[in-house]
Structure 1
Amino acid sequence: MGDDVFCVLCGTEHSKLETVEHLFRDCEVSARIWAGSVLSIRVEGAKHLTMTDWIIDWVQYLGRQEEGRRRVILFIAIIWGLWTIRNKIKFEDLAINPQLLIGILFDSIKERAHLLRNQVDNKGSLKEPRGSVGDQVDQQKTDLRNGIPFHMIGQPGLCSPLRVKVDASWDRSFKAAFGWVAYDEMGRERLRRQVSTRAESALQAEALGVRDVVSWARSGGVLHLDISSDCLHLVNVIADLTKTDHLIKDLLEEIRSSARFFHCLSFCFIPRYLNSVAHGLARQAIRL
C-alpha cells in the first residue's frame, strides 16, 4: 500500500488513501463490519493507535474473556475477510454491492476461522502443517468455495497461497496455446506467461496450462499454490480420481504426482469474466 493507492471499500467518490489502519479499521465499511460483528468492536476512538498496537490490545483483551481463544480466532478471521473483499473488488472487478460483499465476507470469515481452529492445539498455540501433501493424501477435499467448485489437496497454513489464473485456447487444426498470471499475497501481479503449443483437444490444452503452472511453482519452491481455471470440466476431472479423459491421463498423473512437493495445492473454477487476463494471453499466443 502506497500513498498513491486509494481504498476501494470507500467508493470512488469518497475514497481515501489506503493504509493498513484505514483499510482494516478506520474505513467506514470496515468500522461497520467491526461494530456489527459479535465482537461489537467500536473503532472511533482508536485512530491514534497504530494497527499493530490496536491488534495487540484487542488480542490480549479478547484472550482474557470467556471463550477467549474462539474470540481471538474470530478477530483474526474478520481481518482476513476484509482483505479478501478488498482484493476481489480491486483485482477481480467485483461490483461494490453491499449484500454481495457481506456474503463473501462471512464466507471468508467462516472459512478462515475453521482453518485457524483446526490449527490450534490443546494449549492454544497455532501450528503450521507438518510435512508435504504427499504425507497428507487423506486430506483431499472437494467442496464449494463461495458456491464454486473447489478441490484441495493437503492442509493450508497460516500464510496466503500464491494465486494463479490460467486459461487455454484451441482450434480444430490442433493448434493450441495457454496463458497464466500469478499474483502474490498482496494481490499484485508477480508473473505472466503465454505459450504456443499443440493439443488434441481443448481439455488437453487446459491441462497443459495447469501442468505448466505446477511445474513453475514447484521449481520456484512455492509451498502453497491456488490455481483458478474457467474450465469446469478440468477442475472436476482433477477432483475425481476415478474419472480420467484418456487424452489427458498422463498430464493428470504429472499434476497429481507433483502435489507431494506442496504443503497445499488447490484448484478452483472461476467464471470467464474473472479470467480475462489469462484468456487474453492464450488468445494472443494462439495467433502467433
Structure 2
Amino acid sequence: MAISIPPSDCLDSIYWTLSSTGCYSIKSGYATAFSKLWALKASSKDRLRLESSSVLFCKQRLWSLPISGKWRLFLWKILTNTLPLGSEAMKRNLDWNYFCVNCSSSTQFETPEHLFRDCPLASRIWMGSQLGINSHSGGHVNLQKWIINWISLFLKKEQSCYLISFFVSGLWRIWCIRNALKFRSSPVDLYSSMSLLSLDASLNIDAEHQYMLSQQRRLNHDQDDLSEMERIRNFFPHFLIGSAGCSDYIRVKCDAAWKPSFQAAAGWILKSSSGEVIYRGQAKFWASSAFQAEANALYLALSDALSKGFTHIDASSDCLNLVYQVAGLQAKTQDAVSILCCICNLLVCFHCFAISFCPRTLNRTTHAIAKCAIA
C-alpha cells in the first residue's frame, strides 16, 4: 500500500529498501545478515522477551499513548520484560530476594504476572480503583498480553485518556509500593495508595488536556516571521517558474508525519498574500519512508490549490532535500520518483510557481495538523 504508482509507464529500477539512498552497501547487507543470524540463534528466553505482539505494540501504539514520558518508558520496560524483578535476578544467580514483598510470601516468586496482577495487594488495588478490574479473570494469559488487551480496549472508548491514565497509574502505584517495601521497608497504607493512584491519573489527564490546548493554539496562532523567511531565502536556493513580480499569489505550506508502520499523514495551509488563512487540509495515506511522505504532502497541497483555481503559488516545505529535488538541484530519491514526477507535471499548470525551504519553527501549524491526522 505504500508503493507509489507512477502516472505513466516507466522502466522498473532496482531499489534496496534497507538503506536511505536505495543503493546496496556492504554495511547494510552485513547488518541484515547479522540480524537474521541472531534471530536464528536466539534462545527461548529471548524469543519470549521479544514477543511479536509486544514488539508490535511498542512500535505502533505505545509512544503515542496519552500518558507522560515517564509512564511510557515504564510501560515499555514491562512489555519487554526488562524490569529488575526477583524472577530475572534468579535467572542470573544474583544475591537477591526472589520472593514477592507485597504479599510477604516465602513461596511465591516475584514474577511480572504475580506482582502486577495476581498478588492479593495488586488484586485489591485493581478492584478498588475507579476501573473496578477483576485481575483474576486474566490468569490464562501473560502480563504483556493482559496489558495490551486492556489498553486496546480503552483506546476504543470515548474517554480513552481517562481510562488509560487510571490503568497505567495502577501499574505505577503497584511498582512504587513494591520499591518502598523492598528498599525502605515502608508500611503499606492502602488508602493513601489509592489516593495517590487517583492523584497521578488526574495530573496526567490535566497535562494531556493542556497539551491538546497548546496544539490547538498552534493551529489558530501560527504567525509567520516574514523577515526570517526572506533571510532563509537569501541563504537557501529559491526555485521560481514564471514572473518574479507576481503579487496576487497564494502561499502554500505543507508538512507530513510518518510512522515506521508505513502510516503517514499530510497537513497543508493555503494563505493569501496578506497572510489570511484560506483553507486547511489534511489527508492520511501510506508511505514507505519519511521523504516519500513529505513529497506526497507537497503533491496533495499543490493539487488542492489547483483544484480551487489558484495558479500563482508560493510554496514552502521544511524538507530541504525535497526543495532541492523539485528544483532539480539534487538527484531524485528512488522511492519518491513517481511522486516527484507528478509534482513536476503539476507545475506546468501554474502561471507562477515558487518553492523555498521553511524551517520547522515557521511551519508548526502544518506539522500539528499532520500529527493530529496520524494520531
TM-score, length-scaled by structure 2 = 0.39
Query: Which protein is richer in strand relative to its size?
Result: 1
TM-score, length-scaled by structure 1 = 0.50
Query: Which protein is richer in helix relative to its size?
Result: 2
